[in-house]
Amino acid sequence: MAVEVVQFLMRKFVDSLAEEEAAAELPFSAQFYDMRAELEKAAISSANADELRECLYELNDLLAECRMLTNRPNPRRCFAQSDAWRFNKTKKRVAAVRRRVAQCVPNDSGGNAAVSWEDGTTAGLDRWTTSWLERSRIHGFDQQLAELESMAFGDCGAGRLNGVGIVGMGGIGKTALAQLLFNSPLARGRFFPRIWVCMSRTACVGSDVRKEVLQGMLMALGHEEEAILSMDGGDSLATLASIVHNQLKGKRYFIVFDDVWHVDGWYADVVGRQNASQRADGWSECLAFGLPKERGGLVVVTSRLEQTAEAMVGKSCLHRVRPLADRESCWAVFMDALSQEKRSVDLATVNSMKEEILETCGGLPSAAKTMGDIFARSLSLPASTSTSQELSTSDRIITGNSGSLK
């Protein structure tokens, strides 16, 4: 099934890119076409299927992001100053995924063609997440949410900044759990403001990334984007940290740092320190100095890397996300994805394969969603006789006889 997932995502990427051919102003179109050409050379194997799947997830998400950048009232102004921050984030994401694609695909020149496109960009995927969730499409987390609420809201009294780390493998539902907690009635009633900060795999050591974190927090607090981006002096990091501290001082706030991949001294121990340093140069030393604690509050960190969350909130404050134990919840995720495509499907065939589908999903919500997408496409094709035959047909369309992505 891993091969079919990659093939489905590749077909979705190729089709979406073809739909954008008429859009001459699509940002980074040359890079997208270069990556399509590279991916068409890739032979799928157990060694690279997971990496190809992650790259294609990101590419499809990036196409949607770039489409949004161009769908403005005046498309020719899509790179104005007010959009600079979002454009630069997207540019880094494109560069990062291009590097990853180059690592999956044999390069006839013997070099890494993507490396030179954006010097200084750290390899890795930069997923963009938000606090928004469609509650009706999240299933099976009631028990884990109750456990998380007990851990998160149990000790948020004055003088203490509580911290919780949500950890687990990719696709298991860490972000979904954080979204449920962030939007829960308990959180809405106890905390203001509530801030969602999307971290990323590219968030490694470097002052620019640290500035992005603080800038994102200030934007979430309602500050003008142009004013924030204009702070570009030598002490801008300290200035930003000081402004964040002043904005949060006297408030019981809730911050989510979603999808953290790296921790250095600046990120570490965000809840354990006391008030900010009194030295004039102390604001830039660590993120914790920008987080006042006199009213109490909550910081939630999500990460695939347990040691990363532990470094930020402490070993005793981790919630390890479990696969969905309720098989019907996993089935509900699958059926939601199936219905999202709004196509007529052979439900009798789908139901007859329920046990096989659930076994393949292994309790992972993301796997159930991906399989729902695949089945919606494969079972809606004309003259369908069986799922395996349709998947074989899609395999020939995308790969030919060689098993590659052509």
Per-residue model confidence as pLDDT tens digits over 356-397: 889 888 899 988 888 887 787 666 545 444 444 444 443 333
Residue pair 197/131 in contact (Cβ under 8 Å)? The answer is no
Residue pair 384/346 in contact (Cβ under 8 Å)? The answer is yes
Q: Where are the domains of the chain?
A: 2-117, 141-320, 327-399
Looking at residues 76-97, what average pLDDT do you find? 64
Residue range 260-273, pLDDT digits in tens: 987 778 888 988 75
- DSSP helix/strand/coil, 165: strand
Q: How far apart are CA 406 and CA 400, in angstroms?
A: 6
Helices in 158-281 by DSSP H: which ranges?
A: 174-182, 185-190, 207-220, 225-229, 236-248
- In this prediction, residue 75 carries a pLDDT of 38
CA 275, 279, 280, 284 torsion: positive or negative? negative
Looking at residues 176-191, what average pLDDT do you find? 95
- In this prediction, residue 143 carries a pLDDT of 95
Q: What residue has token string 């919780």?
A: 164
Reading the block at residue 63, the tokens are 């196409």
In the chain, % of residues over pLDDT 90? 27
Closest CA to 358 of 380, 328, 381: 328
Residue pair 296/161 in contact (Cβ under 8 Å)? The answer is yes
- In this prediction, residue 280 carries a pLDDT of 47
- In this prediction, residue 168 carries a pLDDT of 93
- In this prediction, residue 65 carries a pLDDT of 76
- In this prediction, residue 124 carries a pLDDT of 38
- In this prediction, residue 24 carries a pLDDT of 52
Whether residue 109 has pLDDT greater than 50: no
Residue range 201-250, pLDDT digits in tens: 444 444 477 888 898 899 889 887 777 877 766 678 888 999 999 999 99
Residue range 314-351, pLDDT digits in tens: 999 999 999 998 999 999 999 998 887 666 777 888 88
Q: How far apart are CA 204 and CA 198, in angstroms?
A: 14
Closest CA to 371 of 30, 23, 9: 9
Whether residue 291 has pLDDT greater than 50: yes
Q: How far apart are CA 208 and CA 70, in angstroms?
A: 26
Query: Which amino acid is residue 65, in one-letter code?
Result: E
Confidence of residue 112 (pLDDT cuts 50, 70, 90): very low
Closest CA to 125 of 70, 212, 53, 184: 53
CB atoms near residue 149 (< 10 Å): 16
Q: How far apart are CA 270 and CA 311, in angstroms?
A: 9
Query: Which amino acid is residue 1, in one-letter code?
Result: M
Tell which CATH architecture fits domain 141-320: 3-Layer(aba) Sandwich (3.40)
Q: How far apart are CA 166 and CA 275, in angstroms?
A: 25
The answer to whether the pTM exceeds 0.75 is: no
Cα radius of gyration rounded to whole Å, the chain: 23
**Residue 198 bridge partners (DSSP):** 258
Residue range 136-178, pLDDT digits in tens: 889 999 999 999 999 999 866 666 789 999 999 888 999 999 9
How far is Cα of residue 324 from the mean position of the Cα atoms in its chain?
20
Residue bearing the bigger pLDDT, 364 or 133: 364
Per the omega criterion (within 30 degrees of 0), is the bond before 193 cis?
A: yes
CA 332, 338, 342, 348 torsion: positive or negative? negative
Reading the block at residue 57, the tokens are 């997830």
- In this prediction, residue 70 carries a pLDDT of 67
| Residues 265-271: contacts with CB under 8 Å, at least 24 apart | 266/210, 267/311, 267/312, 268/311, 268/312, 269/311, 269/312, 270/161, 270/163, 270/299, 270/301, 270/312, 270/313, 271/161, 271/162, 271/163, 271/299, 271/312, 271/313, 271/314
- In this prediction, residue 373 carries a pLDDT of 79
Residue pair 23/42 in contact (Cβ under 8 Å)? The answer is no
Q: How far apart are CA 239 and CA 255, in angstroms?
A: 20
- In this prediction, residue 296 carries a pLDDT of 84
Residue pair 97/58 in contact (Cβ under 8 Å)? The answer is yes
Q: How far apart are CA 197 and CA 278, in angstroms?
A: 26
Reading the block at residue 108, the tokens are 């006839």
CB atoms near residue 11 (< 10 Å): 17
